[in-house]
Amino acid sequence: MELNFQSLWQLNQYIIACDKCPRLVEYRTRVAQVRTKRFLQWEYWGKPLPGFGDTNAEILIVGLAPAAHGGNRTGRMFTGDSSGDTLMASLYRVGLASKPTSNDRYDGLKLWHVYITAALRCAPPANRPLREELENCSIYLKWEFRLLKRLKVVVALGGVAFNSCVRLLGFPAGEKFSHGAILRQGDLYLISSYHPSRRNTQTGLLKPEMLDSVFIQAKKLSGL
């Protein structure tokens, strides 16, 4: 069956109900049921995650996948973990978010000119998606590219997101990931950045000013 979506809302309702990948369904469900000691009182989301943010966005941020006890718990991308706080703090500093933290999907956070999504919509075991799982999810990212009518800049966080965007946007095969690199195709730009994971920030691979610089450039290229 060929999928056809008229709006991001319609697409997101379809994403939430997705059960294409048995390994991911089993893992996200088990994590939501067993939980972790820190979050025993939480009712986990435990489903695929839709994108969120400004539906008239000029900038699309693409991450890897929800964290098992982050997005899989809270029901929103980059919410409830250190990666989300690092990302949101940067967006706040450059004027694209209303607050510097991302705690739960009811915390009042607003994004301006930005929509956030991921290459994979379910938390994968060991944070390592399989190729076929990424392929199953790719149609959703492709539709987000179509439905964000004002899109000017895509920011790919990490190599997996970068490779997914390169392929789906039709950039030449063989483009290599490099932090801060900018690719252009017509009126659309693709900027690559290290992922704001705890490991990358704690080792200094990604510093706050490096992430800020990416979003400052994204604003400039999108005409904001």
d(CA 187, CA 123): 33
Residue 63: per-residue pLDDT = 97
* Contacts (Cβ under 8 Å, ≥6 apart) of 84: 70, 71, 77, 78, 102
Number of H helices, E strands in the chain: 8, 6
User: pLDDT class for 132, splitting at 50, 70, 90?
Assistant: very high
d(CA 211, CA 213): 5
| CB-based contact 109:53 (threshold 8 Å) | no
Residue 3: per-residue pLDDT = 83
pLDDT tops 70 at residue 212: yes
Q: What predicted TM-score, i.e. pTM, was given to this entire model? A: 0.96
Kind and range of the H or E element at 5? none
d(CA 50, CA 55): 12
Rounded mean pLDDT, 27-50: 94
Q: Which residue, among 198, 159, 147, has the nearest Cα to 62 in the 3D structure?
A: 159
d(CA 36, CA 30): 11
d(CA 174, CA 203): 28
| CB-based contact 12:75 (threshold 8 Å) | no
Residue 1: per-residue pLDDT = 58
Domains and CATH numbers, the chain: 8-221 (3.40.470.10)
Task: Give residue 17's Cα distance to chain centre.
Answer: 18
CB-count exposure of residue 92 (10 Å: 0-12, 13-18, 19+): middle
d(CA 50, CA 155): 17
